[in-house]
Structure 1
Amino acid sequence: MMRCSVLVLLFTLASLRSLFAADLPTVDQMFTASTHPMRYAVSLPSHWSSDRKWPVIIAPAAHYGHHQETLQMLAPLCEKRKADFIIVSPVIINSDPVAKMKAYRGEVADRISSADAKLGEGVRDNSARAEFDSAGIRAIIQDVQRLYGGEDRVHIVGFSASTHVAYLFLFNHPELLKSVFINSGGYQGRGVDADHIPLLHSPERARVAVKMIVGDQDRGFQFYADNWATTKPLLIRCGHPESRLHEEIIRQGNAEKLPVGHTWFPTRLMDFVIGIERETTP
């Protein structure tokens, strides 16, 4: 009788896991944050389970509609490295025209378009866009914690235009971050009130690791390099230890044959976040 009961229990647990697994997200699915209209896609480790906490990478694409490309780039690399990350690609507004954004037709697009129009023809309201992106990503982080066991602090990565969002979180919400990866982009203060930066010289800010990376044949190389040269001292003045601020230039003819143009550097990204996880894992 005891053996039979144990077998029934094991079968029931296995069935429940199977049913739950059927509801787990895939990279081609889109979700809406429970407390905000921001859309997002999410990828879980292949052996994900609900019995532990998981590190999270927030990886917005450079432009609207490329979220699947971001997940398709990072998810296989995580599996290959046996790196247990939840990867989330939020559909940000950032610098793109909202009229073309099917995900945000209606109230959201109308509100952003109205804010843009008040500034004049062809001008975009960066503050309104930053407010939407910031609130949306924070809502998604909370959902990922609740639904998938995401950790309290995340890694946020940005490429090209989406580095604006990565910098936004670095300056405004260091308490939510383990690290920030700035891939081929520059800081222009979008959504950041330079006179009211929170958590100056705090432990929350001091523990965040930051890396800037760019290829030396990137069309924006000189701007990104010069921009980092001015942004790094600003971060130090805010309380980021210089030892936590890293930079790398991928040179033409490098031994690993990495591209040197305007591109993601996913292997460097994974090297960085895996290294930070090793630092922070007891």
Structure 2
Amino acid sequence: MTGNEIKILNSLSEFENFGKIIKTAVGAEIEKVYLRNNRYLAIIGYKVLKDFARFTSHEDFSMDKIDYNGKTRIYLTGLKRRAVMRRASEAILREYNQNYVCATPDHQCMECYNCYAYGGVIAIKDKTKAIKSRIKTTTSFSIQTDEEATIDEPEFHNIIRKDLKMEQAPTGEQKKASLYEMVLIKPGTVFPFIDIIFNPTKFDLSMYLETLKRADAEGYGSRSSLLGTMESKILTVTDNLNISQKELLEGIKVDEKGNINENQINSLLKENLVDEDKLEALRKELPTLIEAHKNELYGKTT
């Protein structure tokens, strides 16, 4: 870890109870709670897809892809990543307090750590309230083109159910064979990412690291098929974000065998790569930090 990053981490307070320091502005119909300010930490890295996946946010279930920076790329929305991370974060807190009942999207308490970190909305007459997320997850675009990233062999994504017996009620007639076309993203596809934590604390970063690990293991693809598990590598943690998604896409090189050019990354980040052992040590501090602040983490949800 560089001297600058050590200075950044040492400057963080261990924990803040945002339930006590929030500032509210009351409008005509909704009370909005703003927790962001100009202090932030940016976590920059990349994810490698470990199994097959489908990323889709369209009604026709087509693959999420877009023309960006000269190529047609697969994209993973920041909202999707944040939703998976929030569920993982809720599960972590529940491990230490079985009475913790806050859950997204329908049972947000608006008083616990997760609500102050990931935001929330209560849309009930006379009780409306909204909290902005302090954790910003940006949309990630694949290094590889959509043609390079997806499977095009028919045996992988065309499945014809000719022998499936499904009688139609009430006539008893046999349904016709069904054709399923499933285009999958290949393992090894690389997605650079930039995540931002506003009003950061040591607890936030420790919780983020554990949440990231669990969210990657859960996967970001279809919930029903549990596709889309990933492995993340954090390249740098900084309070001076001076690199863009475009620069990451241009600077990270992946060869035909899926090998990632680390030398190119070093040049891109000017050697400011993190010490992975230090980050792992901080992640492992989480149980101690949760125990130290357990009376402030859960609000009135227990």
Q: Shorter-chain TM-score: what band? A: under 0.3
Higher relative contact order (CA 8 A, sep 6+): 2
Structure with bigger gyration radius: 2
Hey, which of these two has a bigger chunk of helix by percent? 1
TM-score by length of 2: 0.26
